[in-house]
Structure 1
């Protein structure tokens, strides 16, 4: 776990170090817990409506993705 935490960049590393300090090194007892809290802290929400809007904005050449598909 320490190796993974050492490989985090920038704000993620600072965030993880604060979590470890605040919880006496028990903040991330397992890899799954680390992954879950990293996603909650740094991954943007993946709601379906936003994803559909982004998908239909894509273009294949001069044709919209909706028409292309």
Structure 2
């Protein structure tokens, strides 16, 4: 949810920078400066969709046997 909210806000701000009342004359520089704000939320969203439990570490065989007993 954090990634989608951050991505939404950055896209709204970039929309204003591109075609709004306060459009920038230096569009390539603005896009380059905001690139991390676009890529990092996309990475967070990708990580959450790819793994069902993104914050857990895989257990070893002995840990798995202890849990199943």
Larger Rg computed on CA atoms? 2
- In proportion to residue count, which structure has more helix? 2
- In proportion to residue count, which structure has more strand? 1
By relative contact order (CA 8 Å, sep 6+), the higher-ranking structure is 2
TM-score where L is the length of structure 1: 0.30
